[in-house]
Structure 1
Amino acid sequence: MSKTAARSAIRGRFLDIENTVAQACEIHDQARYVEDGLLICLNGKIEWFGTWQDGQAHLPPDVQVQHYPDQLIIPGFIDTHIHYPQTEMIGAYGEQLLEWLDTYTFPTELQFSDPAYAEKIAEFFVQELLKNGTTTALVFCTVHPQSVDALFQAAQKRQMRLIAGKVMMDRHAPENLCDTAESAYADSKQLIEKWHGKGRNLYAVTPRFAPTSTPEQLARAGQLKAEYPDVYVHTHLSENKNEIAWAKALFPEQKGYLDVYHHYGLTGSRSVFAHCVHLEDDEWQCMHDTDSAIAFCPTSNLFLGSGLFPLKKTWEAQVKVGLGTDIGAGTSFSQLQTIQEAYKVQQLQGDKLSAFEALYHTTLGGAKALDLADQLGNFNIGKEADFIVLDLQPTALQALRQSRAKGIEDAVFALMMMGDDRNVQAAYVYGECAYQRSKA
């Protein structure tokens, strides 16, 4: 019998966004709050969801119910952009993007040539995701194939749905961190065959960003995408103004930065571009036309001084977007802390970010950005049972604020503005408890 060949049942307060939406104003109508609900899981999927009163008729007599009467249960957070090899260099001082890569990132990533080291950091990374309530992530590895193996092995042990890939980088980086167009293609192809669609693992073709790949390598990346249409593409775009100028100078034959990726066949419904802080109008149109997605990474954008992402524009242009922590330029694994900074970024632009819109971007909207909304993101029957249990008052200050909450939306907004990993009491992956906060 496999690990998940059994039913489990969870009772408590549930909140999710029931359907994907086209405008932020529609989210409130899709917010589904069940004060006393029941979730029944079978073989890792949601078998039944509704009120406790209705659900008892669907509950087999031999299934023990795990009851969380005082907590809030929501779908697991989805992180649409994060670098696991940068875990140990989080919070590195004083540089903007290009200098930061040379000073901190590249020296750290060199260590992942050692499989034992990669395995140690992968284990830490996956546990840290769960501790913060993140159950699915789109992840950068390093140029080393063994970095991908280590991460997928760590995810597979926990039955987590992770998307990851080997970095492709054949110029403008230290020599012993560079591959070639041919080796990147061959290594990536082998990794796709080994991992993509095995268990819950999915593969992403991962050129670091256009300036660190030759035209020949980007063509090979596009070839991989054409040969394996259901794999992902994961890269960076328009994060920093100097980076944009550099990309344009390196590819003068293209109309702009995004057009470099588009030219090589790297846009599409499973293509996720991190940052996109400084997109031009025709690039917004291309993102929409190709059904490509953006990972909004506010803690990183603020930490590196990259700029303020125009989240409102994603609704206007009808471009998919999810939230990303972007460890290690990002400063926290917590999507709650990421939401806090996203809210401030919008405030600085004269816009708002409601509690339910933030919930959408970190759950169902993130699943849509990853082309997984049919499998993840809410409690609809048939979806994969990834969810988290949140303690709304783990500190005296949060308890005081929650005592004044005016309904569920206000309670969730307070949680998002004050919360962190201490709020995550448990994380369930594929219907089973994968993380439980210690009571100590």
Structure 2
Amino acid sequence: MHKYSKNLNKVIYRASIVNPINSSRCSFYKDGGLLIDNGVIEEVNCFDNVLKNASPDVPVIELNGVISPGFVDVHLHWVQYKVKGLYSGELLTWLRESIWPEESHYVDVELATSAARNFYDDLLRAGTVMGLSYSSPHAHATQIAIDLMRGDWVVGNVLMGINAPNYLTDFSLHDSDTLKAFMSNIDLRHYAVTPRFAPNLSQFQLKALGEIAIDSGVIIQTHLAESREEVEWVRKLFPEADNYTDVYDRAGLLGRKTVLGHCIEMSDSEWRCLAERGCWVAHCPTSNEALGNRRMPLEKLREYNIPYALATDIGAGPSHSMLHVLQRFLSLHRDAGVNIDHEDALYRATLAGAEAMGRGLIAGNLCAGKRADFILLPGMGPRDHWAGWLEDCISGSMSELETRPLGTWLGGKKVS
């Protein structure tokens, strides 16, 4: 390993490199080189070619392992991180009895600050460098999550005005004027309009949020059709709507900047609607499994060509590790007879998430001109093909997978 000055702008990292290009293609270099200039990728190729094209004074750092893009998690609740995996059961009961009381604690600024620091530290340790996060209803908790972020995150305070405890709705910014005032003082590149889910807002309130999101150009994130009980509740609350998806569509909340969590109990007309609007789906296999929901029908996403990316959905999801999500994603769908290749799986955990966030041109994989956000995973050993190596990487217990990455880099600098 060559030592180099921290003031130098350029460096070459040498290791095996696996790099998803799209859902069906992945570049692999057994002996790869990653040339970084001031935090931005300049070239990725076989090491000899990168070295040949670089100036002779560019230092080389040899890493023992496999370089991969950092993971992207497009649906999680950072304010549920401390209780991830501790509670289960039917979705609505789980929310009322366990999760909403937990989120009420984030009225405490010191608690929120400590929790945010711990959350980002642990996510980086597990190899996650960016994502979409739900906060509690409290404005200050969302501000803390944005101010303390490590990596590239989009955060939204959950908006909920009805059918929930006063200890949460009293702090919600679902009133249009209040929400607009809050948004005027934050960096909208890192903010999402976040209706918790349809039952927590009236049709009038949902429509007002849709108008604010469109006017501001921010991402919209919410939940859709996670369980049968939830779908039935929505049907009773919104009898004028054709279905759950139609509730959001009438409110103007569906579009290319919309990321919808779960999407399990859906009709064909709803899938068609999502396809026509260009929405993204956040697929959360570990959460669905933990709460006893049905398997998300991946076949329907493919049939209607709906884009999707993977997510942990902590705290329903029991682990913050995207390696664990990949493990369960492949296992659950394969057991149901659905074919998934390794290229598609790795893409859904990295570049697809960046694309869902609108960051696909600047992040998500290891291409020239993008941020040098990457992780180092254990080496391939005698394997000659990276697919078998990926299977090895995602094998093991949750705790093993959470600490499997050997290091995480943001902008070319090691941070974990």
Q: Is the 1:9–1:63 Cα contact (8 Å) retained in structure 2?
A: yes
Which position in structure 2 is the counterpart of 1:163? Answer: 154
Q: Give me the whole-angstrom Cα distance separating, in 2, the residues matched to 1:412 and 1:180.
A: 44
Which position in structure 1 is the counterpart of 2:267? Answer: 280
User: What do the CA deviations read for 1:5-62 (whole angstroms, capped 9, x no partner)?
Assistant: 93333111111122x34xxxxx1xx210011222122233212222211112343444
Which position in structure 2 is the counterpart of 1:399? Answer: none
Go from structure 1 to structure 2 and tell me whether the alpha carbon gap of 1:190 and 1:434 turns closer, same or farther (over 3 Å shift).
farther
User: What do the CA deviations read for 1:105-138 (whole angstroms, capped 9, x no partner)?
Assistant: 1111111111111111111111111011000110
Give the residue type in structure 2 aligned to 1:328: G
Which position in structure 2 is the counterpart of 1:224? Answer: 212
Which position in structure 2 is the counterpart of 1:46? Answer: 41
Give the residue type in structure 2 aligned to 1:59: A
Q: Give me the whole-angstrom Cα distance separating, in 2, the residues matched to 1:405 and 1:38.
A: 19
Go from structure 1 to structure 2 and tell me whether the alpha carbon gap of 1:7 and 1:238 turns closer, same or farther (over 3 Å shift).
same
Q: Give me the whole-angstrom Cα distance separating, in 1, the residues matched to 2:295 and 2:377.
A: 29
Go from structure 1 to structure 2 and tell me whether the alpha carbon gap of 1:37 and 1:182 turns closer, same or farther (over 3 Å shift).
closer
Task: Measure how far apart 1:219 and its partner are.
Answer: 1.8
Q: Is the 2:86–2:318 Cα contact (8 Å) retained in structure 1?
A: no
Q: Give me the whole-angstrom Cα distance separating, in 2, the residues matched to 1:190 and 1:384.
A: 32
SS in structure 2 of the partner of residue 308 of structure 1: coil
SS in structure 1 of the partner of residue 393 of structure 2: helix
2:389 is equivalent to residue 411 of structure 1: yes
Give the residue type in structure 1 aligned to 2:43: W
| Structure 2 unaligned regions, length at least 5 | 1-5
- Within the candidate set 247, 271, 278, 2:258 is matched to 271
- Within the candidate set 9, 20, 29, 1:17 is matched to 20
Which position in structure 2 is the counterpart of 1:67? Answer: 62
Go from structure 1 to structure 2 and tell me whether the alpha carbon gap of 1:208 and 1:352 turns closer, same or farther (over 3 Å shift).
same
- Within the candidate set 207, 221, 239, 1:252 is matched to 239
User: What do the CA deviations read for 1:326-345 (whole angstroms, capped 9, x no partner)?
Assistant: 00000001111111111222
Task: Measure how far apart 1:353 and its partner are.
Answer: 2.7
Q: Give me the whole-angstrom Cα distance separating, in 2, the residues matched to 1:203 and 1:181.
A: 15
User: What do the CA deviations read for 1:202-256 (whole angstroms, capped 9, x no partner)?
Assistant: 2110000000112232122112112112x10010000000000101111111111
Which position in structure 1 is the counterpart of 2:196? Answer: 208
Q: Give me the whole-angstrom Cα distance separating, in 1, the residues matched to 2:173 and 2:27.
A: 50
Q: Give me the whole-angstrom Cα distance separating, in 1, the residues matched to 2:223 and 2:18.
A: 32
- Identity of aligned pairs, percent? 31
Give the residue type in structure 1 aligned to 2:120: V
Q: Is the 1:364–1:377 Cα contact (8 Å) retained in structure 2?
A: yes
Give the residue type in structure 2 aligned to 1:223: E
SS in structure 2 of the partner of residue 148 of structure 1: helix
Task: Measure how far apart 1:180 and its partner are.
Answer: 8.2
Q: Is the 1:181–1:217 Cα contact (8 Å) retained in structure 2?
A: no
Q: Give me the whole-angstrom Cα distance separating, in 2, the residues matched to 1:365 and 1:112.
A: 31
Task: Measure how far apart 1:403 and its partner are.
Answer: 5.6
- Within the candidate set 282, 301, 305, 1:295 is matched to 282
Q: Give me the whole-angstrom Cα distance separating, in 2, the residues matched to 1:87 and 1:110.
A: 14
Give the residue type in structure 2 aligned to 1:379: L
Which position in structure 2 is the counterpart of 1:97? Answer: 91
Task: Measure how far apart 1:191 and its partner are.
Answer: 4.1
2:288 is equivalent to residue 318 of structure 1: no
Give the residue type in structure 1 aligned to 2:29: V
SS in structure 1 of the partner of residue 15 of structure 2: strand
Q: Give me the whole-angstrom Cα distance separating, in 2, the residues matched to 1:52 and 1:403.
A: 18
SS in structure 2 of the partner of residue 194 of structure 1: coil
Q: Give me the whole-angstrom Cα distance separating, in 1, the residues matched to 2:170 and 2:411.
A: 36
Structure 2-normalised TM-score? Answer: 0.93
SS in structure 1 of the partner of residue 395 of structure 2: helix
Q: Is the 1:309–1:345 Cα contact (8 Å) retained in structure 2?
A: no
Q: Give me the whole-angstrom Cα distance separating, in 1, the residues matched to 2:403 and 2:366.
A: 24
Q: Give me the whole-angstrom Cα distance separating, in 1, the residues matched to 2:120 and 2:316.
A: 18
- Within the candidate set 169, 172, 179, 1:178 is matched to 169
Q: Is the 1:293–1:370 Cα contact (8 Å) retained in structure 2?
A: no
Q: Give me the whole-angstrom Cα distance separating, in 2, the residues matched to 1:243 and 1:63.
A: 57
Which position in structure 2 is the counterpart of 1:383? Answer: 370
SS in structure 1 of the partner of residue 194 of structure 2: strand
Go from structure 1 to structure 2 and tell me whether the alpha carbon gap of 1:216 and 1:234 turns closer, same or farther (over 3 Å shift).
same
SS in structure 2 of the partner of residue 423 of structure 1: coil
Q: Give me the whole-angstrom Cα distance separating, in 2, the residues matched to 1:4 and 1:138.
A: 33
Q: Is the 1:272–1:292 Cα contact (8 Å) retained in structure 2?
A: yes
Q: Is the 2:330–2:340 Cα contact (8 Å) retained in structure 1?
A: yes
User: What do the CA deviations read for 1:248-287 (whole angstroms, capped 9, x no partner)?
Assistant: 1111111110111111111111100000011110111111
Where in structure 2 are the equivalents of 1:359-374 lying within 5 Å? 359-374=346-361
Go from structure 1 to structure 2 and tell me whether the alpha carbon gap of 1:5 and 1:82 turns closer, same or farther (over 3 Å shift).
farther
Q: Give me the whole-angstrom Cα distance separating, in 2, the residues matched to 1:57 and 1:358.
A: 33
Task: Measure how far apart 1:187 and its partner are.
Answer: 4.3
Give the residue type in structure 1 aligned to 2:118: F
Q: Is the 1:355–1:416 Cα contact (8 Å) retained in structure 2?
A: no
Q: Give me the whole-angstrom Cα distance separating, in 2, the residues matched to 1:420 and 1:343.
A: 15
Which position in structure 2 is the counterpart of 1:127? Answer: 121
Give the residue type in structure 1 aligned to 2:26: A
Aligned length: 408
Give the residue type in structure 2 aligned to 1:165: G
Which position in structure 1 is the counterpart of 2:3? Answer: none
Q: Is the 2:10–2:59 Cα contact (8 Å) retained in structure 1?
A: no
